Amino acid sequence: MSHSPDLNTPSEPPRVPALLRRRQALQAGGVVLLMGLTELAWGASIVAVRVWPAPDYTRVTIESDGALTARQTFVANPPRLAVDIDGIEMNPALRELVAKVKADDPFISGIRVGQYAPGVVRLVIDLKQPALPQVFTLPPVAAYQHRLVFDLYPTVAADPLEALIAERLQDSRQSPTPPAPASTGMASKPAALPDPLGELIAQRNPATASTPGRPELKPSPNLSSPGTAHSTAQAPVNVSPPAPPVRPSKPAATESAEAQATDRLIIIALDPGHGGEDPGATGPSGTREKDVVLSIAHLLRERINATTVKGNPMRAFMTRDADFFVPLHVRVDKARRVQADLFVSIHADAFITPAARGASVFALSQSGASSAAARWMADKENRADQVGGLNVKVQDATVQRALLDMSTTAQINDSLKLGTALLGEISAVGRLHKPKVEQAGFAVLKAPDIPSVLVETAFISNPEEEARLRSPEYQNQLADAVMRGIERYFSRNPPLARNRSA
C-alpha cells in the first residue's frame, strides 16, 4: 500500500517492534550500528547539511557518504516543496537544517523534517514566495562526498539592469544639484550631466515623462537563473540625450568638450570568483579565496560608484554580492544582460608549493595558452562548476556555453589593453608574478562583446601573501590599484556610445 503524501506535517514513523526491525535489517543484508546519537542506517549517513540563501536563488545541500535518491512534490498554495529521501533515517545532522534557515532568507520561511517511513525521511521546505525548484544529485568531487541539492529560483527573476537604473535614480534624488561635469579625459569624482537613465525610464513610461526624476519601474522579462540559461529577446531602447535648456551661448571649446561626452551610464561588471559550495583556494591559515575576493570586490564597487568618466557616471554590477555559487556561464550572461563595458573577475591564486607569489592578469586566448602555467590556471578555474555544483541536466546551460564561445579578436585585443593598464597599477602595490598579461581559455572571459580580464590578486597558498590578502589595508590598496587601472584604460579607450535595453 502506498503512502499518501502529507505535505503539511512530516509524519512520525510507524511503530515497529525492535526485534522485527532488527530481523528485517538482517534479512536485507544490512547491519544497523548505533553509535551514540548518530544512526548509520540503510547504507548512507549524513555528513553535513548547508543552506546558501541569496537574492538570485537559495540552495539547500545534504551531503552524505553514499548516494541518495529523492522524490519531490511542489505545492503552489501555500508554496512548499516536499522531498522524500530514500535510504536514510532521522539523525541530528538532518535536524540541524531547521536551525540553519535565516530570517532574511528571500525564499525559505522554514524547514520541517521527519521520518515518513522506515528508510524514508520527508523534508518539507516552506517558502515565502512561489519558486521554481530544481532537485538533483552531484557525485563526489574535491573535498565533497555525495550531495543532494535543492535549488529554489524565483518564478520571475529580477532584471539586473533595472536594479542599476533604480540605484542611479536614487543617487540622483539624493543629489538634486550636482556640480558641473569635469572636462578632462581622465575619470573624475562624481559630477553629473542630466541623467540619461531618467530619460530612458521616461521613454519606457510615457505617463511619468513630466517627472523623470521619479519614474515608475515596470517589471522586465525574465532573467535567466543559474543553471537555467533561458533568455528573452528584447528590442533595444534608443537613448537620446535630454533636450538642453535654453542658456547663454558658450565658447566653442566648451561646446566641443561637452560634445565628446558619451552621456550614458558606464557599467563595470565585477566577478568575485567562486562562492557558496565552492570555496576556491584555501591558504595555509585557512583563509578562503571566496571570502577575500568578495571583500575586495565590495571595496572596488564603492570606488566605481563614486567615479565618473567625462561627466558620465560609472556603476558597478556584481555577479555575486554574497556567499553563493554562480556557474561560470551565468556570470558571463549576467554581464551581457546589463551590457557591461568591462568585465573584471577577481581571484586569489594558489599553487602546489608555497613559494609561488605575485599578482597576475589574464585575458582570453583563442589559439592556446601563452604558457604552461596559464593553461594550468585556466583548467583549475574552469573546474569551478564541478565543485560549486552545476545542474548538468539543464540542457540550456550547454547551449549557452557554446554561444559564448565566440569571442572576437577585437574583444581580446581590448582585454589585453585593459589587462596591461591593470598590471601597471597593481605593480605599484605588490609584486607581479608575470610582467605581462597572460592568455588562456578561461570560460568566464568568453563574452564576445565585453573586454574581460581575470585578476589573480596574489598567491593565497603563500603564507606571506595570504596574510596580506587578509589585511584590510592591502585590500584597499588593491581596490585602489584596480580602480586606477580602469581609469587609465578609459583615458586611452573612451567608452563608445551605445543603446541600452532595460
CB 437 within 8 A of CB 492: no
- As a whole number of angstroms, the distance between CA 418 and CA 315 comes to 17
Closest listed residue to residue 403, CA positions, set 453, 333, 335: 333
Q: What tens-digit pLDDT sequence spans the chain (502 residues)?
A: 434 345 454 444 444 454 444 445 444 443 333 333 333 334 588 999 999 999 999 999 999 999 999 999 999 899 999 999 998 888 898 999 999 999 999 999 999 999 999 989 999 999 999 999 999 999 999 999 999 999 999 998 877 777 777 776 777 666 654 443 443 344 444 333 344 444 444 444 444 333 333 333 333 333 333 333 333 333 333 333 333 333 344 444 444 444 344 457 899 999 999 999 999 999 999 999 999 999 999 999 999 999 999 888 999 999 999 999 999 999 999 999 999 999 999 999 888 889 999 999 999 987 777 778 777 777 778 778 788 877 776 645 554 555 445 557 889 999 999 999 999 999 999 999 989 999 988 889 988 889 999 999 999 999 999 999 999 999 999 999 999 999 999 999 988 765 543 3
**Residue given cell 571595496 in the structure block:** 299
Our measurement of the distance from residue 373's CA atom to the centroid of its chain's CA atoms, rounded to an integer in Å, reads 26
What is the secondary structure of 212-247 as a DSSP string? TTSPPP-PPSPPPBTTB------PPBP--PPPPPP-
pTM: 0.71
Integer-rounded Cα Rg, in Å, for the chain is: 26
Question: Which residue reads 573535498 in cell numbers?
Answer: 143
